[in-house]
Amino acid sequence: MSVLENPTEALKSVYTALRSFESDLQEMDSSSNLSYASVEETLQLASDMHMIKSYTTELFNELQSMITNHLSHLPAPVAVDGATVEIKSGSPRKTWDHQSLINDVSKRIVDSSVDLNTGEVVKTPTEMIKEALQFAGISYWKVTKLKELHLDADEYCEVGEAKKQLVIRRDK
């Protein structure tokens, strides 16, 4: 008997229960059963699911830590049932000195934009800004700030359907 047999069976049971819950949700949605539930019952269901999601994340993080400490390095991704798994490493980087980094990146780009023989600036300001942006990971634009420049963010991106979200704050 493998030491992983019990945890593996437990995960299969959880997965089966979640698939059953998924069916229940689909039935609730299609039959408008939600209309007959109280607000408190409905939101309690969301709160319970959120708690399970949080606990699952905690358990995954614990398992991940255990596995990466035990195995430390895999030379290549390993194929498992329905996925491949690999160990990657990286260091969290926080508290960036953005202002200094912007100054240093800008200076180097401006310096590299000057022809050393003639002293002529061979890149336009727009080209320099575009080059500088290659060094930053901008994943979003500040819509309110763009409005200050009379720019409509929606003209520069694919706009999806508006979403509403529940915000669940756990009691301490």
The Cα 107–Cα 127 span in angstroms is 14
Check whether 1 has a pLDDT greater than 60: no
* Residue 152: per-residue pLDDT: 92
For the chain, give the mean pLDDT: 88
Residue 87: closest CA among 67, 102, 105: 67
User: What was the pLDDT predicted at 14?
Assistant: 93
Tell me the per-residue pLDDT of 12-63, one tens digit each, with 9 for 90 and over.
999 999 999 999 888 887 776 677 778 888 899 999 999 999 999 999 999 9
Prediction pTM value? 0.62
41: its two tokens: 């019952």
Take residue 141 and report the two structure tokens written for it: 């634009």
The three-state secondary structure class of 1 is: coil
**Is 115's pLDDT higher than 60?**
yes
- Asked whether the beta carbons of 98 and 117 are under 8 A apart, the reply is no
In this prediction, residue 164 carries a pLDDT of 72
What DSSP assignment string belongs to 91-148?
Answer: ----S--HHHHHHHHHHHHHHHTB-TTT--B-S-HHHHHHHHHTTS------HHHHHH
